[in-house]
Structure 1
Amino acid sequence: MTNPKLRDAFSDQLCQAVLALETVDECYQFFEDICTVSELKALSQRLEVARMLQDGHTYDDIVARTGASTATISRVKRCLNYGADGYKLILTRLYKEA
């Protein structure tokens, strides 16, 4: 269920824009324009943190591989455990067994 605090016409437009992207190159083009380099790196880092947490890695392993702070790791872990299941959804789709 979508958080009603997040849902509005602008957010819907952003989600529709992401869904309209067809290739990795198109994603890079769009995200380069819409995000700063730091924002994109932070989003990418959080996804990798989520993947590593789901795979059972320790905080020390995650810090060493991603450079994420323990605060970021804790926040991602909280989302994995109590969030809207967005990380779980995308990680399942990206890494499902072939």
Structure 2
Amino acid sequence: MHYSPTKKEKELFRAILALKDEKEAAKFFRDLLTISEIKEFANRFQIAKRVFKGEPYAKIAKDLGVSTTTVSRVAFWLKQGMGGYRLVLERISRNRQFR
């Protein structure tokens, strides 16, 4: 999969990298996104985290109140995307930032 970020997207990514901590990130994302968007992104990340840990798709879907199709879509990007989910999940699992 190939993706070339635009100049605007690169600027957004640099802005995210400028955030110093969770509190700053919460403020920035709340201004940038709607509450629904934040919840959706958080849910996708939880799905990716649980698929990464090897949990069954049906359990993830039930626990998070999403369809197994949604879990499958996230799992697809985890396994066959550009490696972004995996990069972050491996990094934070080494640092014990999630359980």
Q: Could you tell me the TM-score, scaled by structure 2's length?
A: 0.88
Unaligned regions of 5+ residues in structure 2, if any?
A: none
Other-structure match for 1:88: 86
Query: Aligned letter for 2:16?
Result: V
- Could you tell which deviates more after superposition, 15-24 or 59-68? 59-68
- 1:60 aligned counterpart, secondary structure: helix
Q: Which runs of 5+ in 1 are unaligned?
A: none
CA deviation vs aligned residue, 1:55-81 (integer Å, no higher than 9, x gap): 111112101222222222111111112
The alignment status of 1:74 with 2:63, answered yes or no, reads: no
Match of 2:23 in 1: 25
**What one-letter code is carried by the residue in structure 2 that aligns with 1:14?**
L
Superposition deviation, residue 97 in structure 1: 5.8
Q: Aligned residue pairs: how many?
A: 96
1:59 corresponds in structure 2 to: 57
The code of the aligned residue for 1:56 comes to: G
Question: What CA RMSD, in Å, does the superposition of the two structures yield over aligned residues?
Answer: 1.6
Partner of 2:3: 3
CA distance in 2, matches of 1:97, 1:26: 20
Distance (whole Å) between structure 2 residues aligned to residue 15 and residue 24 of structure 1:
16
**TM-score (norm. length: structure 1):** 0.89
Sequence identity percentage: 34
SS in 1 for 2:76: helix
Measured in 2, the distance between the counterparts of 1:69 and 1:41 equals: 16
Aligned with residue 46 of structure 1, among 36, 44, 60: 44
Partner letter of residue 54 of structure 1?
Answer: F
Q: Residue 23 and residue 97 in structure 1: after superposition, are their counterparts in 2 closer, same or farther (change >3 A)?
A: closer
- How big is the shift at 1:2? 6.0
